[in-house]
Amino acid sequence: MACLKRCNTYFFSVEGETEYWYLKWLDYLFNNNQDTAYKVSI
């Protein structure tokens, strides 16, 4: 049975599209790593 991870939510204000895509990439990296203790929402 899979263990449910606690979710942490973070809010950012960005000026451009590049920053937006960088934060989405970080979100993807954190949430697809099996070794993390938390799930994140950016």
Tell me the pLDDT tens digit for each residue of 11-41: 989 898 999 999 999 999 988 988 888 898 9
pLDDT value at position 2?
59
Q: Which residue in the block uniquely carries the two structure tokens 């979710």?
A: 7
pLDDT value at position 18?
94
* Single-letter amino acid, residue 26: L
Q: Pseudo-torsion of CA 33, 36, 38, 42, nearest 10°? A: -50
* Single-letter amino acid, residue 19: E
